[in-house]
Amino acid sequence: MTGSDLTALLEVKPGQAGSLRDLLLSIGADVNGNPALRFGEMPGVHFARFTLLEDGRRLLMNAVHDGSLEQHLDELARHGPGLGSILGHCADFPGIDAPGAFRDWVAAHRVTGGAFFRAHACSVAGVRRCLALRDRIDGLLSLPEVEAFLASLSRLPSPPRKPPPGRLARLGSSALGAIADLLLGALRLPQLPFAGRTSTRLGQEPALTVHTPCWLTEREHIVQNEMTIMLPTHPGLRGYLRAILGAAGRSLKEPPPDGTLAGVSTVHFGRWMMIDGGRSLLFVSNYDGAWESYIGEVASERVGKGLDLIWGCCRGYPAAGAGDIQAFKQVIIDHQARAEVFYSAYPDRSAKNILAAIRSAETLEALLEDERVAGFLREL
């Protein structure tokens, strides 16, 4: 199963930001072929990134991994001969030759808590097996010889169909949706006295049409992208934000049945966490597609209202929330940092692809365990 994520904030030594950025960019330019960090040889890493924050004053080390933190750090040290060169730019780095000291150092700078979303609980090896099986099934289904076999499956008794929801059930679902919207709106009331349209970095009203910098959208050679946002929080809303993140964390303890974040199907993993004693909110995510599409999707309908509850506790967040799409985009652009190094274990597969492959494997396994199917196969 997917264990967790590692998020560590490391202080960069004075005067070291430039050389560290150059080193990270050289690794990021060939994330699979560089000799310093051989992510492809780390079987338990789904996603990983190194991101310089606050003009290079701090380094974010983030990964979504299988197994325990100790196993991940051992794997990272074993397959990252250049890891010491990277982390050597950070204050008090003890080296990686003494595993215990290295683990303690990372643990001391690790950020925990908040809310962690994962679309599935499958390991890297499990995802790859499911994708390979799905590819084989797709290949088999395209063969002419399979048509006769598929036609023979019609002799199997059809499972009973679930009746469509009645009018009362549909009305009940609509009523629940309306109640949820009202509840989300009511929960935002404590934030409204603090809300405003002004960007904390630009100090001016956002334009009617926001220009999206090219560095946000230029990772077009792979399916996935990454997002790292750090926003300052309102002192008067920090306790409220902790409560919201605590409730969100409990609701996201297990992956949702449909694998989506309130209907958004492009997110693989994401975490919101308070840092620096609650003075800032850090958000990291791994998602599919272009930045514009992702922002448009997460700003829509109920998921946008949920985001308003979290980011509405931050300074500069628009009063209308994600519904003011241009102001919403501007706040993100002003506080987003691009990862110098970004790795994906399956760069050409979307979250939808992966979830479909996992469900296909689960369905096939259940089908083969069905006694009716087993009896049918014995008769072939």
Q: What is the DSSP string of 25-79?
A: HHHHTTTTT-SS--GGG-TTEEEEEEEEETTTTEEEEEEEEES-HHHHHHHHHHS
Each residue's pLDDT tens digit, 320-366: 889 899 999 999 999 999 999 999 999 999 999 999 999 988 887 77
Tell me what percent of the chain is helix, strand and coil, each rounded to the nearest 5. Answer: 50, 20, 35
Residue 204: φ, ψ to 5°: -150, 165
**Per-domain boundaries in the chain:** 2-112, 178-344
Q: Give the C-alpha separation, 76 to 334, whole Å.
A: 32
Tokens of 164: 């469509």
pLDDT in tens, 270-279: 999 999 999 9
Task: Count CB neighbours of 190 within 10 A.
Answer: 14
pLDDT at 258 over 80: yes
User: Is residue 228 a contact partner of residue 60, using CB atoms and an 8 Å limit?
Assistant: yes
Whether residue 375 has pLDDT greater than 90 = no
Percent of the chain with pLDDT over 90: 60
Asked whether residue 179 carries a pLDDT value surpassing 70, the answer given is no
Alpha-carbon distance of 195 to 214, in angstroms, equals: 29
Fold (CATH) for 178-344: Alpha-Beta Plaits (3.30.70)
> pLDDT by residue (tens digit) across 3-53?
689 999 999 999 999 999 999 999 999 999 999 999 999 999 999 999 999
- Poorest-pLDDT segment among 102-111, 185-194, 290-299: 185-194
Q: What is the mean pLDDT of residues 214-230?
A: 84
Number of Cβ atoms within 10 Å of the Cβ of 40? 13
Which of the residue ranges 64-73, 175-184, 257-266 would you say has the lowest mean pLDDT?
A: 175-184
Q: For residue range 141-178, what is the model confidence (pLDDT) as tens digits? A: 676 665 666 566 555 555 555 566 555 544 444 444 44
For residue 201, the model assigns a pLDDT of 45
Q: What is the DSSP letter of 322?
A: G
Question: Backbone phi, then psi, for 263, in 5-degree steps?
Answer: 95, -15
Long-range contacts of 178-181 (CB under 8 A, 24+ apart): 180/302, 181/302, 181/305
Give CA separation, 290 vs 216, 327, 332, 350, in Å. Answer: 8, 19, 14, 12
Alpha carbon separation from 15 to 12, 20, 21, 89, 137 (Å, rounded): 8, 10, 11, 9, 55
Residue 305: both structure tokens together: 């209202």
Question: In angstroms, rounded to a whole number, what is the distance separating the alpha carbons of residues 335 and 27?
Answer: 24
Residue 283 structure tokens: 């958000």
Q: Is there a common fold for 2-112 and 178-344? A: yes
Flag whether pLDDT at 217 surpasses 80: no
Our measurement of the distance from residue 159's CA atom to the centroid of its chain's CA atoms, rounded to an integer in Å, reads 36
Contacts of residue 284, defined as CB under 8 A and 6 or more positions apart, other chains included, come to 5, 7, 49, 60, 62, 226, 227, 228, 229, 270, 271
Considering only residues 219 and 148, tell me which one the structure prediction assigns the higher pLDDT. 219
pLDDT recorded at residue 174: 43
Q: Are 59 and 12 in contact (CB under 8 A)?
A: yes
* Structural contact between residues 340 and 24, judged by C-beta atoms closer than 8 angstroms: yes
pTM beyond 0.85, yes or no: no
61, 6 Cβ separation under 8 angstroms: yes
Higher pLDDT, 183 or 115: 115
CA distances from 321 to 29, 180, 201, 233 (A): 36, 17, 18, 15
Classified by CATH at the fold level, domain 2-112 comes out as: Alpha-Beta Plaits (3.30.70)
pLDDT of residue 132: 92
Terminal-residue alpha carbon distance, the chain: 36
